[in-house]
Amino acid sequence: MKASVTYVHLLRHTPFFTELNDDQLKWVVKNSREWVAPAGTVIDGRTDGVNASSDLWILLDGGWQIETKNSSYHAGNDDPGKWYRSSATHSDNRLVTTQRSYVMRIKAAEMEDMLAKGFKFDSHLSEGEDWYGRIDAHTP
C-alpha cells in the first residue's frame, strides 16, 4: 500500500462520511490515514492466535472482500461491509482489495473520540455489524 492524501471535498461524498459537517470531516482527515492499495492487497485479517484489532478500515473507493475458509463476501463503499474491524468478527478471515482501492485507517482511540463527539456513524456501524454477524453465521 502507498500513502495517499485525503481531500475533504472528496470525503464529503463517501457514503460513510456523508452525514458529517465540514469541521467533523477536517477532524477525520487530521486523525486518520488514507492509503491506495492495488487489487489483491491484504489490508487486515483475523487468524487464530492473533489478537483482533479494534482499528477501523473504511473503503473510500474501489472494492474489497472478506475471505473466509469457504467463501468470499464482496463489498463496495455503499454496502454494509464498507468498513472493517477484525474484532467485529469471530471467524478466521482476511480483508483483500478486489480492485485498486482507496482505504482509510482510523485507530480505535480516534474512532472512540469521534463517537464521543457525536459523529454520525451509528447507522453505518450497525449495518456492518449485522453483515459481519451473517458472515460469522455462515463460517464453520
Eight-class DSSP state of 14 = S
What CATH number matches the domain at 2-138, 2.60.120.10, 1.10.3720.10, 3.30.70.3000, 3.30.420.610? 2.60.120.10
CA angle, 85 as apex, 94 and 15 as ends, to 5°?
A: 105
Residue whose C-alpha is closest to residue 135's, from 82, 103, 88: 88
Quote the pTM value: 0.93
Cell of 123: 447507522
Quote the pLDDT of residue 86.
87
- Has residue 46 got a pLDDT over 90? no
At 45, the pLDDT band (50, 70, 90 cuts) reads: confident
Domain ranges, ordered by start, for the chain:
2-138
